[in-house]
Amino acid sequence: MIRFTLAAFAVFVAAQVEPVQDPEESPPPSVSVIRVDGAISPVTTNYIRRGLSEARERGSSLLVVELDTPGGLLESTKDIVQIFFESDLPIAVFVSPDGARAASAGTFITMAAHVAAMAPSTTIGAASPVSIAPGGAEADTVMQKKIFAYSESFIESIADRRGRNAEWAISAVREGSSVTETRALELNVIDLLAQDREDLLRLLDGWVVEGDTLRTAGAVVTEIPPNLAERSLGLLMRPEVMLLLTLIAIYGIVGEVTNPGGIVPGVAGVIALILLLFASAAMPINVAGFALIALAVVLFVAEAFTPAFGLFLAGGAVSFFLGALMLFQHLPEPMNLSWSWLIPATLLTTLFFALIVTAGIKAQFRPVRTGTESLVGERAEVIERIQAKGGKVFVKGEYWNAIGPEEIGEGEWCEVEGIEGLTLKVRPWKNPDAPPTQV
């Protein structure tokens, strides 16, 4: 009986005592993911830098960069590689989804990651740089050699730093070599193949990166999307958008100057110009392109003042087309501006200046046709003899009091010089043999 009582008491006490938590038990691991699609630009650099910072704040054990890019700017690529090298948080670049590519700048970025992985049916390579001289002009032969030499040494240093195939990396720059995911794994260009994000995290569990062991199995995945500023800036730096901003700036400012009082066109033009200057500061835009566009505007305006029979208009159209072509044509291929944008923009701008701006400029210099000021310069018929003390004239269907320094006889013609109140100042008309037709 005593044993039974003691056993029951022990059971009761055990039920009331909460289990002690294992001090070695830890919360599930965390992994942050960012998605980079499209051309590599300064916006991409800012996005990756912010994603890395947020991943650290969240206590993530790994940042996964899902990549699909046709290439981009070399300067932005250098900044991203530097971010990867300086990061104390492991970074895995995953070329995905199926059919994605890590071309040109993407090759540098993928090989610079702590872990490089690819999904099925993806490619990497074709990393030959597009030669862009300062100001955006096409580089000469010497400059091209320097850029290629730098790019080869740059990607070689990346491969050596990460223990990857430096020989193939150099060939990707020098010869534009490109390989599939299976071949890239065989050549030691990447570290592993994964079907999707879940498969990647499963394979990386237990992976040792610079002395740290990754814990990614069952990790809580947090996606970090681009914020509003990054999406907006990414849109601004598209060549098509920059061309539209150029057109809005030209149409708005020139339209306001030639047809003052609209306010809205002028404000829209100034805002577009500011946005254009901001976007241009972050892109290797060809200064000569802007100069040709400015010359086109001058030629278009000159057409309104000079009877050139359309020569200035044609010259302006050619100058505008070449300027718009030069602005973006030497950027990497994914950032080029197609002719389907250039030709309509040129035609629209030519018509704008030929029809709207020319009419507005001529209207500014046309003699006044309303009010009493419109009488100045008109010819009038003398109804009562004009003397210094006064007289009467008939002009534009109305009778007016008139005075003049010289006497003008009744029935003769005179010219209106000015107006004082309700009295016209007149002088003898110098060509009395050809009287004008009264309106």
pLDDT digits (tens, 9 = 90+) for 100-119: 999 999 999 999 999 999 99
Rounded to an integer, the average pLDDT of 11-35 is 63
The amino acid at residue 28 is: P
Q: Does residue 334 carry a pLDDT above 70?
A: no
**pLDDT for residue 181:** 95
Q: Which CATH number fits domain 30-229: 3.90.226.10, 2.30.30.40, 3.60.40.10, 3.40.50.2300?
A: 3.90.226.10
Q: Report the percentage of the chain scoring pLDDT > 90.
A: 36
Specify the pairing of strand 178-180 against strand 123-125. antiparallel
Question: What is the C-alpha to C-alpha distance for residues 428 and 439, in angstroms, rounded to an integer?
Answer: 20
What is the separation of C-alpha 305 from the centre of its chain, rounded to a whole number of angstroms? 34
Q: Is 6's pLDDT higher than 50?
A: no
Average pLDDT over residues 251-266: 80
Reported as a pLDDT band with limits 50, 70 and 90, residue 11 is very low
Average pLDDT, stretch 379-406?
86
Q: Are 363 and 409 in contact (CB under 8 A)?
A: no
Of the candidates 49, 92, 77, 57, which has an alpha carbon nearest to the alpha carbon of residue 227?
49
DSSP for 277-310 reads HHHHHTTT--HHHHHHHHHHHHHHHHHHHS--TT
Please state which CATH class domain 372-428 belongs to.
mainly beta
In sequence order, the β-bridge partners of residue 115 are 92
- Contact (Cβ atoms closer than 8 angstroms) between residue 300 and residue 337: no
Strands (E), 20-151: 30-37, 62-68, 91-95, 101-103, 115-118, 123-125
Pairing mode, strands 101-103 and 123-125:
parallel
Confidence of residue 15 (pLDDT cuts 50, 70, 90): very low
Instruction: Give the 3-state secondary structure of residue 389.
Output: coil
Among 239, 234, 237, 249, residue whose Cα is nearest residue 326:
239
Instruction: Sketch the domain layout of the chain as residue ranges.
Output: 30-229, 237-365, 372-428
The per-residue pLDDT for 162 is: 93
**Mean pLDDT score across all residues of the chain:** 83
> How much is the pLDDT for 49?
95
Tell me: pLDDT of 79 over 70.
Answer: yes
Compute the Cα dihedral for 76, 81, 82, 87 and give only its sign. Answer: positive
Segment of 6-15, 84-93, 314-323 carrying the highest mean pLDDT? 84-93
pLDDT given for residue 10 in this prediction: 52
Q: Looking at the predicted structure, is the pLDDT value of residue 187 above 80?
A: yes
